[in-house]
Amino acid sequence: SIASADMDSNQLEAFLTAQTKKQGGITSDQAAVIAKFWKNHRTQIHESLINQSCWDNVLKNMNWRVDLKSQLRHIDQINTPVAIVEMELGKNGQ
């Protein structure tokens, strides 16, 4: 089993307690060290897991606007709304 970076303190304590009771599991001292490390580095662990699980490009920025056509050859197309969307993609962390 693997501890999740989303665990709160109670969930982590329950998880580590279960690991100490498994055959070949961890000792209570090891559980205490793991809990201390997790509490001190929770944010970095969470960010690292997100970066490792994102394989493709991510959306960095998006802008959009709606324009109305005011001059056209055909009168029935005047005031037709046109949406323009600009999306900036990039690798996570770049």
Could you report the per-residue pLDDT of 40-75, keeping only the tens digit for each?
A: 988 888 888 877 777 778 888 899 999 887 776 777
Model pLDDT for residues 11-42, shown as the tens digit of each residue = 888 889 999 998 888 999 999 999 999 889 88
Determine the pLDDT at residue 89: 87
The answer to whether 78 and 69 have CB atoms below 8 angstroms apart is yes
Token match 């501890």: residue?
Answer: 3
Determine the pLDDT at residue 87: 92
Domain of 80 in residue numbering reads as 58-90
The answer on 63 and 49 residing in a single domain is no
Token match 């599991």: residue?
Answer: 25
The answer on 26 and 39 residing in a single domain is yes
The answer on 63 and 31 residing in a single domain is no
